[in-house]
Homo-oligomer: A and B are copies of this chain.
Amino acid sequence: MSERKRVEAMAWVCPVPLRQYDRVLLGHGGGGKLSAELVEHLFVPAFGSAPEHGLHDSAVLEPGEGRLAFSTDSYVVRPLFFAGGSIGEIAVNGTVNDIAMSGGQPIALSCGFIIEEGLAMDTLGRVVELMAGAARTAGVSIATGDTKVVNRGAADQLFINTAGVGRIPDGVDIRPDRASPGDVVIVSGEIGVHGVAVMSEREGIEFGTRVRSDSAALNGLVGAMLDAYLDIHVLRDPTRGGVAASLCEIAAAAGVGIKFEESLLPVPAEVAAACSFLGLDPMNIANEGKLIAIVPPEGVDDVLNAMLSHEHGAGAMVIGTVNDEHPGVVTAVTRLGATRVVDLPLGEVLPRIC
Give the number of residues in A that approach B within 8 Å (Cβ atoms): 86
Q: Does A18 contact B (CB under 8 A)?
A: no
Contact of A345 among B32, B76, B241, B349 (CB under 8 A): B32
For the complex, give the distance between the alpha carbons of A114 and B239 in Å: 17
Q: Is the CB of B101 within 8 A of A58?
A: yes
For the complex, give the distance between the alpha carbons of A56 and B166 in Å: 15
Q: Does A300 contact B (CB under 8 A)?
A: no
Q: A101-B56, A253-B55 are in contact. Are A27 and B161 (CB under 8 A)?
A: no
Q: Which of A142-150, A258-266, A309-317, A331-339 contacts B (4 or more CB under 8 A)?
A: A142-150
For the complex, give the distance between the alpha carbons of A153 and B53 in Å: 42
Q: List A residues 13-37 near B (Cβ within 8 Å).
A: 25-36
The count of identical subunits is 2
Q: Does A3 contact B (CB under 8 A)?
A: no
For the complex, give the distance between the alpha carbons of A28 and B159 in Å: 18
10 A-B pairs whose Cβ atoms sit less than 8 Å apart in the complex: A30-B345, A30-B349, A31-B240, A57-B98, A57-B102, A149-B351, A151-B156, A154-B155, A155-B155, A161-B163
> In the complex, given contacts A30-B240, A155-B156, what are 11 additional A-B residue pairs having Cβ atoms less than 8 angstroms apart?
A34-B346, A53-B175, A59-B69, A60-B67, A72-B145, A76-B150, A114-B114, A148-B352, A150-B351, A151-B352, A165-B165
